[in-house]
Amino acid sequence: MKPELIVNNSYAELKDFPQEIVDAIDTVLTVHNDIELEKQYLQRQIKFFGRNKDSPKMRKLCGFHKKKLKDLLASEFVHWLRDGKFPTGHLNIVKDVIEVFNVKYTFSDLRRIPQKQYEFILCKPFHDPRYYQKEIHEIAMREGRGVVESAVGTGKTDMLMRLIFELGVVSLIVVPSKPLLKQLEPLLKEHFGRRNVIRLGSEKLSKSKLRKVKKTPIRLINIQSLAAARKKGNISDLISDVDAIFIDEIHHAGSKSYTDLMTHTDHIYHRFGFTGTFLRNDSKTLDMWGFLSNKLYSYPAWKAIEDGFLTPVEVILHEIEGVRKRFYQGEYTANYCGTKKKYPEALLGEIKNIFDNYVKPSDQVLILVNLKDKCGAIIHEFLDDIGVENTYISGDSEEDEIDDAIREFNAKTVKVLIGSRVIGEGIDIRTADHLIMAQGGKSEIAMVQAAGRLVRLSPGKKVGYLHDFLFRDTKYMEKHWKLRKTIYKNNLAPKFTAA
């Protein structure tokens, strides 16, 4: 029989292909997770707790770590080709493999483009599109699915709304966090009207609420609620009539919360992702591609800066004496957070230098810290002690407190804002003149998203100053600065200066 490639919205299937081709496809669709360090840690824990078998608590902890090790070993290899089926997002990869073997096959595309159902009347018209937004819209309408990689601050929300308007079908918008959901909801209602937009949760819907959902063409939900609805068995009520799905910050789609949705979304034809960074630094890249697939268009920050749509950046490097430790976490904590007995004096001293010599009284300063450390609280207290008024928010802050702090910073009534990832990706902060990177790290996603808080246009802002730190004579921190420098160079094309 002639080999056949059958394509549906979420999954495609190989039928009657020679085994050598199937094996080749399996090879390219297999992810090898690097588990060695975590495996060694769990083995050490099992050995330690296993020495104390007379203690019920130790036996329980030993069993807990054994289970974690078993799960870890099972995840070392992830095969996306299963029983001849693979995610449709991998279709181009599979077709390239088949082409190498020069085998003729039947291509059966069972996907159907949905008919337009709604002629929206806008309550507020869209802005005139920029040249790249026009190009993106034309490509997206032609292709029907794919990822738009466009720098932070270049109008991805406008592009998303234009597609919803022109497609005119029931649309589901998925965002990765509550702050983004709260930011996007009023924008959608402002343009499409309150009756056409609804925010969804994970709860089981009453008959009256379900009728309201089914009458509402634009639905907004965060991924946590959508994943919870899947586990509770409520997901069909929310999306059974959806014809278009839009994923904001699509680089998160390598997570299990997204990939578990693929069997529930096989009826959805239109699929679009939006991100400033369509990449990952881990083994989840193939997972992410499988969920949505091809990049339709790329508009990087350096190009947007060149075009005048984003603020030029100057990276100022502050070299300070570092604390060298044997392991990464210990070295990171010592340099950015200090110890129980000693504050990170070198870092705090250089932050004071920034305020003394770089920050004007009218300037807005944003300080980003890591989510899980105490660095933010230390900097907050330090600035209070030296007379610099500031506001500090973290994941422990109330939602209203976070919203108020962001709003007041953009209104310039708060001059110095310290925060973790609650003011990270996607959050509309545009007035920062200085960004102090007190979070370290080497993740390209994290660095690009962080810089996005600095590059948005704002009246009177001609240059955004990004302050970063090189801790001399360290094992990890020095290496990570070099990686961050390359990330800044490739994405922002900034001017580099030494403090």
The reply to whether 343 and 455 lie within a common domain is yes
Read off the pLDDT of residues 142-156 as tens digits, 9 standing for 90 and up.
999 998 999 988 999
The pLDDT assigned to 372 comes to 57
Tell me, yes or no, whether 285 and 340 share the same domain: no
Please state which of the ranges 37-51, 104-118, 344-358 shows the lowest mean pLDDT: 37-51
If one compares 251 and 2, the residue with the highest pLDDT of the two is: 2
135 and 274 assigned to the same domain? yes
Q: Are residues 240 and 336 in the same domain?
A: no
| End-of-domain residue from the set 76, 109, 142 | 109
* Averaged confidence pLDDT in the chain: 89
End residue of a domain, out of 109, 144, 177: 109
The last residue of one of the domains, among 299, 327, 355, is 299
> Is residue 277 located within the same domain as residue 181?
yes
Residue 425's pLDDT is what? 63
In a shared domain, residues 192 and 317: no
| Residue 44 clears pLDDT 80, i.e. is over it | yes
Same domain, 311 and 345: yes
pLDDT at 466: 98
Q: pLDDT value at position 453?
A: 87
What does the pLDDT average to over 152-181? 93
The fraction of the chain above a pLDDT of 90, given in percent, is 61
* Three-state SS annotation for the chain: CCCEEEECCCEEEEECCCHHHHHHHHHHCEEECCCHHHHHHHHHHHHHHHCCCCCHHHHHHHHHHHHHHHHHHHCCEEECCECCEEEHHHHHHHHHHHHHHCCCCEEEECCCCCCCCCCCCCCCCCCCCCHHHHHHHHHHHHHCEEEEEECCCCCHHHHHHHHHHHHCCCEEEEECCHHHHHHHHHHHHHHHCHHHEEECCCCCCCHHHHHHHHCCCEEEEEHHHHHHHHHHCCHHHHHCCCCEEEEECHHHHHCHHHHCCHHHCCCCCEEEEEECCCCCCCCCHHHHHHHHCCEEEEECHHHHHHHCCCCCEEEEEEEEECCCCCCHHHHHHHHHCCCCCCCCHHHHHHHHHHHHHCCCCCCCEEEEECCCCCHHHHHHHHHHHCCCCCEEECCCCCHHHHHHHHHHHHCCCCCEEEECHHHCCCCCCCCCCEEEEECCCCCHHHHHHHHHHHHCCCCCCCCEEEEEEEEECCCCHHHHHHHHHHHHHHHHCCEEEEC
Q: How confident is the model at residue 284 (pLDDT cuts 50, 70, 90)?
A: low
Taking residues 327-349, report their average pLDDT: 88
Query: Same domain for 336 and 295?
Result: no
**Is 115 among the domain residues?**
no
Q: Tell me: do 156 and 52 sit in the same domain.
A: no
User: Which pLDDT does position 288 carry in this prediction?
Assistant: 74
* 38 lies in some domain: yes
307-317 pLDDT per residue, tens? 999 999 999 99
Given this model, what pLDDT does residue 249 score?
84
- 142 and 261 share a domain? yes
pLDDT grade, residue 430 (50/70/90)?
confident
Cβ–Cβ under 8 Å, residues 205 and 237: yes
Contacts 24+ apart (CB under 8 A), 397-406: 397/422, 399/178, 399/179, 399/182, 402/179, 403/179, 403/182
**Residues 250 and 313 grouped into a single domain:** no
In a domain, 262, yes or no: yes
Q: Flag whether 121 is in a domain.
A: no
20 and 92 both lie in a single domain: yes
Specify the number of domains making up the chain.
Answer: 3
What would the mean pLDDT of 244-252 be, rounded to a whole number?
Answer: 87
Residue 284 lies in a domain: yes
Crossing angle of helices 375-385/345-357, nearest 10°? 50
CATH code, domain with 420: 3.40.50.300
Domain ranges, residue 230 = 131-299
pLDDT digits 0-9 by tens, 462-484? 999 999 999 999 999 999 999 99
Q: What is the pLDDT of residue 429?
A: 87
| pLDDT higher than threshold 80 for residue 373 | no
Q: Model confidence over 199-223: pLDDT tens digits?
A: 998 877 788 888 999 999 999 999 9
The domain that contains 97 carries what CATH number? 3.30.780.20
Domain assignment of residue 95, yes or no = yes
Burial of 389 from C-beta contacts in 10 A (0-12 / 13-18 / 19+) = exposed
pLDDT tier at 193 (50, 70, 90 boundaries)? very high
